[in-house]
Amino acid sequence: MSKLKIAVQKSGRLSEKSLQLLSDCGIRLSNGERRLKATSTNFPVEILFLRDDDIPQYVEEGVADAGILGQNEVWEKDKKVTQVKQLGFAGCRLSLAVPKDVVYTGAAYFNNKKVATSYPVILQKFFNENNINASIETISGSVEIAPAIGLADGIFDIVSTGSTLQINGLKEVEQVIKSEAVLISNTNLSAEKQEILDKLLFRIQSVKNAAENKYILLNAPNEAIPQISSILPGMKSPTVLPLAEPGWSSIHSVVREDAFWDIIDQLKALGAEGILVTNVEKMIL
């Protein structure tokens, strides 16, 4: 039987998150030391551990069938691959930054300036779209020190918290794009490998659904059930079970994480008591 070869970053935060996602999908890997590759013992996939900036090329060429990496690398390498799914982790932004003492009045500041970056393709597209004539200095690593050593007037780089910019005497002035981890695939997968990918996507979506929702149990007076049901629809409708105490029922449902606290306040106002909330491990719609 064919195995789907999935490339992941060989080290770093994104690598750990990628492997955790596969684990959450029930995929067990045989090689815990991550030398070059690992094979699943219970699902037809093989994991290849590669440099993140090499993954788009390997997926395009079919060395790997799929890959998990940051969107920024997909955009920068501009290879012929299919972006299959955004994964919702390893979020960051790519931004322009200048020395703190610069009086910044807008993107036109970069006209006739030199900008250091590891992402020249993305940056050049931004400059072209904004009619900015700037010089791009392509470097790898330690981009933040470029202004301090006189190599550039500003930088374009990944920003997560902004602390690295502050340490190097820089300030973020233009957010160009937001990026997160994505699953990509070769554009010409065989039918058998596409079927494996589809099964993996089903598992990934179930894990994402679970992460975005909470399971909630509560007790409520029967007269409040219609109103509570309207704000706790669950997947179809909440489960309502009578309690031993007359006039009361137990209601079970799910609630989205981003609406959780607002809904809790509404439930309390409707007389809900004994509210219990727990994580959902998997959620299949």
Question: What integer pLDDT is reported at residue 33 of this predicted model?
Answer: 55
261 pLDDT higher than 70: yes
Q: What is the mean pLDDT of the chain?
A: 93
The per-residue pLDDT for range 159-200, each reduced to its tens digit, is 988 888 999 999 999 999 999 999 999 999 999 999 999 999
Question: What integer pLDDT is reported at residue 129 of this predicted model?
Answer: 96
Kindly indicate the confidence band of residue 97, based on its pLDDT and cuts at 50, 70 and 90: very high
The per-residue pLDDT for range 47-73, each reduced to its tens digit, is 999 999 999 999 999 999 999 999 999
Kindly indicate the confidence band of residue 11, based on its pLDDT and cuts at 50, 70 and 90: confident
Question: What integer pLDDT is reported at residue 234 of this predicted model?
Answer: 66
Long-range contacts of 264-270 (CB under 8 A, 24+ apart): 266/231, 267/218, 267/220, 267/228, 267/231, 267/232, 270/220, 270/224, 270/227, 270/228
The per-residue pLDDT for range 196-251, each reduced to its tens digit, is 999 999 999 999 988 889 999 999 999 999 999 988 876 678 999 999 999 999 99
Question: What integer pLDDT is reported at residue 257 of this predicted model?
Answer: 85
| Backbone Cα Rg of the chain | 25
Say what the pTM is.
0.85
Nearest to 59 by CA among 8, 10, 95, 101: 8
> Are 68 and 6 a contacting pair, CB within 8 Å?
yes
Domains of the chain in start order, with CATH, are 4-89+181-210 (3.40.190.10), 92-179 (3.40.190.10), 213-279 (3.30.70.120)
Beta bridge partners, 58, equal: none
